[in-house]
Amino acid sequence: MGRQVHFDVAGDDFYLDPLFFHVEQLRYVVIELKTGKFQPEHDGKLAFYVSLVDGRLRRDVYAPTVGILICGDRNDHTVRYALGRSGSPMAVSTYTYDSLPPSEKNALPGADELTSALGLDEVPQQLD
């Protein structure tokens, strides 16, 4: 659907990181990107975005919106407590290239290629 998708909430501006629509499951997928370690407050922001998409875009025939937070690191216990009472389908995942075998690293595009493909001018230092 896009990246940095704008929503105006009674004069407050919010920009969702990549927003997808899964055509087979008929559901929106909200992605929130963080470069640092998962913090419990990230859950609140993701839940807000999921609720916003449900309220503004989701139709009754669609499956519930999914929220995925991708961060640089996480403590599984903290994530479990943070998401423990969530009524929406949400997940937290990490990203790293460091643990990949060299052959896999070489098969992936570099930061410059990804930046270009996403239409960015430079590699973001903080993906908030």
**What is the CATH classification number for the domain harbouring 32?**
3.40.1350
Asked if residue 112 is part of any domain, the answer here is yes
Helix axes 76-83, 40-56, angle to 10 degrees: 40
Asked if residue 37 is part of any domain, the answer here is yes
Asked if residue 33 is part of any domain, the answer here is yes
The pLDDT score that the predictor gives to residue 103 is: 64
Asked if residue 128 is part of any domain, the answer here is no
Asked if residue 127 is part of any domain, the answer here is no
pLDDT-derived band at 124 (thresholds 50, 70, 90) equals: very low
Reported as a single tens digit per residue, the pLDDT across 21-75 is 989 899 999 888 877 777 777 778 888 899 999 999 999 999 989 888 787 777 7
Q: For residue 65, which phi and psi values (nearest 5 degrees)?
A: -65, 140
Q: How many helices (H) and strands (E) does the chain have?
A: 4, 6
Reported as a single tens digit per residue, the pLDDT across 82-119 is 766 666 666 566 666 565 667 666 666 666 666 665 55
Instruction: Determine the Cα–Cα distance for residues 6 and 15; give it in Å rounded to an integer.
Output: 5
The pLDDT score that the predictor gives to residue 34 is: 78
Give the domain extent around 48.
5-117
The distance from CA 75 to its chain's CA centroid, rounded to whole angstroms, is 18
Q: For residue 29, which phi and psi values (nearest 5 degrees)?
A: -130, 115
Asked if residue 68 is part of any domain, the answer here is yes
Asked if residue 54 is part of any domain, the answer here is yes
What is the tally of structural domains in the chain? 1
Asked if residue 65 is part of any domain, the answer here is yes
